[in-house]
Structure 1
Amino acid sequence: MIHSLFLINHTGDIFLEKHWKSVISRSVCDYFFEAKEKAGDPENVPPVLQTPHHYLITIYRGKLFLLSVIQTEVPPLFVIEFLHRVADTFQDYFGECSEGVIKDNVVTVYELLEEMLDNGFPLATESNVLKEMIKPPNILRSVVNTLTGSSNVGDTLPTGQLSNIPWRRAGVKYTNNEAYFDVIEEIDVLVWDIGKLNPQKLPNLKGSLSVQAGAPKPEENPSLNIGLKIQQLAISGLKVSRLDMYGEKYKPFKGVKYVTKAGKFQVRT
């Protein structure tokens, strides 16, 4: 799946590379550099790039680009999720995911990448399993390794590898048969039906609606807090982050609060 991984800083320098199959030349990153120059902002670089012979899938974390090289079609989100897991692992091991920290712990970084992928396919990505195989670096362990010539790699197979649940070690026993779960629900939507707002009459607007607890059904016009983010400028050149609507056809329904008082303006279409 993943043939190679390149770590690139915000200035465009490749400071680390890892190959799991055949070695791929750094010149493949030229397509990424062209897209980065066109995007301007690093966060606007397309996450998936198609080249004549490869697919480039990237993420941007901590002023670093993690660029993976793929030669066959794979689900892009699967690769993106793995790249974020790599960055999270570096964060967990070293405290931060930055160029300086990665260079200072380059041996541990290569050991982690070797265990996380097997022939280009994800193998061990859970933090507790990795920490049993590769000990997190610290000053005392570094001194001992220097004097004895040992490494951070463990000698035994992690117990989590033998468990049906990868993030939980096998053979765990508790005095009480209890389990606690934290359920977190998140929703990111744009609702137009409430209040009969017509999206065609509100060009280039992105917004979020938050319904107050205990509010009636949407058909009954519940109390809402609304914020509309405008990507364009007003005709006068005024930059706005909130929008007040005026006129009968934009008459707000009951319960909607508009925060801004920037005055009347029109939005470019």
Structure 2
Amino acid sequence: MIHSLFLISHTGDLFLEKHWKSVISRSVCDYFFEAKEKAGDPENVAPVLQTPHHYLISIYRGKLFFLSVTQTEVPPLFVIEFLHRVADTFQDYFGECSESVIKENTVTVYELLEEMLDNGFPLATESNVLKEMIRPPTILRSVVNTLTGGSNVGGMLPTGQLSNVPWRRIGVKYTNNEAYFDVIEEIDAILDKSGTTVFAEIQGVIEACVKLSGMPDLTLSFMNPRLLDDVSFHPCVRFKRWESERVMSFIPPDGNFRLMSYHISSQK
């Protein structure tokens, strides 16, 4: 599905590329650079560009462009979501997603990209599973690897990859079991001169931090779930139960993750 990935700084410097199916020439990025010049502001660059032989799909995160190249027509939102997963993984591994940090951890970046995509198709995109395969870089580990010629890649397949819950590790144990859910909402509103609300809408997300032993099965309900529009769930949520009962039932990943995002319109 995804043939190549290019990382480009906001100034237009192409500093990293990864190819899965076959090597695609950097010249394909010229179409992107042309669109970037026309847009002026980096955030105004069209996320999907069609060229004579390829489709270019990109996101802009942390003053970086993540530019993917496909040779066949694919659902753009599917690719965009994967690119955001890549950026989130870099953020989780290195503390920030920036050009300097990625250059400092080039080897780990390539190892992550190799595991996150298999022959062009997403494979492992959860940080807690990836950390079983590729250990996060530390100063001590970097020194040891330099002296011994080792790498951060683990020698065993993650236990989660062998189960029907691939986003969660098996055998998780905590002394203190706890789960936190943060509801973060952004309100956009227009008020007239008398203070009356003309228009208002809410964009919200639920960020979770779950540290529970074993294989917990959680249920989360809302007082008025019909208010929520355009909901987007983490793959762990059982969507059929949400459709029928408007109840969120899920086996959560281990650690931090985004459980869902939603929209509430002004009519509600």
When Rg is computed on C-alpha atoms for both structures, the one with the higher figure is 1
- 1:18 aligned onto 2:10: no
Residue 95 of structure 1 corresponds to which residue in structure 2?
95
Cα distance change, pair 185–151 in 1 and its aligned pair in 2 (3 A): closer
- Supply the AA of the counterpart residue of 1:101: V
Q: 179, 204, 208: which is aligned to 2:200?
A: 208
* Deviation sequence 1:215-241 (CA, Å, 0-9, x none): xxxxxxxxxxxxxxxxxxxxxxxxxxx
How far residue 81 of structure 1 moved from its aligned partner, in angstroms, is 0.4
* Aligned positions of 1:120-135 closer than 5 A: 120-135=120-135
SS of the equivalent of 1:115 reads: helix
* Deviation sequence 1:144-176 (CA, Å, 0-9, x none): 11122111000111112123222322245799x
* Aligned positions of 1:138-177 closer than 5 A: 138-172=138-172
Cα distance change, pair 102–169 in 1 and its aligned pair in 2 (3 A): same
How far residue 208 of structure 1 moved from its aligned partner, in angstroms, is 1.8
Cα distance change, pair 95–170 in 1 and its aligned pair in 2 (3 A): same
Cα distance change, pair 34–160 in 1 and its aligned pair in 2 (3 A): same
* Deviation sequence 1:3-49 (CA, Å, 0-9, x none): 00000011111100000011111111111111111111000000000
- Supply the AA of the counterpart residue of 1:208: A
Cα distance change, pair 183–93 in 1 and its aligned pair in 2 (3 A): closer
Residue 265 of structure 2 corresponds to which residue in structure 1?
none
RMSD, aligned CA = 2.7
Instruction: Give unpaired runs (5+ residues) of structure 2.
Output: 191-197, 203-268
Residue 119 of structure 2 corresponds to which residue in structure 1?
119
How far residue 181 of structure 1 moved from its aligned partner, in angstroms, is 7.6
CA distance in 1: counterparts of 2:30 and 2:142, whole angstroms: 37
- 1:57 aligned onto 2:57: yes
Instruction: Provide the TM-score with structure 2 as the length reference.
Output: 0.67
User: Higher relative contact order at CA 8 Å, sep ≥6: structure 1 or structure 2?
Assistant: 2
Contact 1:162 1:170 (8 Å CA) reproduced: no
* Identical pairs, percent: 82
Residue 252 of structure 1 corresponds to which residue in structure 2?
none
Count of equivalent residues: 196
Instruction: Provide the TM-score with structure 1 as the length reference.
Output: 0.66
Cα distance change, pair 185–156 in 1 and its aligned pair in 2 (3 A): same
Bigger proportion of residues as strand: 2
CA distance in 1: counterparts of 2:174 and 2:136, whole angstroms: 27
Contact 2:187 2:201 (8 Å CA) reproduced: no
* Deviation sequence 1:74-96 (CA, Å, 0-9, x none): 11000000000000111111111
Cα distance change, pair 32–162 in 1 and its aligned pair in 2 (3 A): same
Residue 107 of structure 2 corresponds to which residue in structure 1?
107
SS of the equivalent of 1:2 reads: coil
Cα distance change, pair 71–152 in 1 and its aligned pair in 2 (3 A): same
How far residue 180 of structure 1 moved from its aligned partner, in angstroms, is 5.9
SS of the equivalent of 1:8 reads: strand
CA distance in 2: counterparts of 1:103 and 1:164, whole angstroms: 35
Residue 33 of structure 1 corresponds to which residue in structure 2?
33
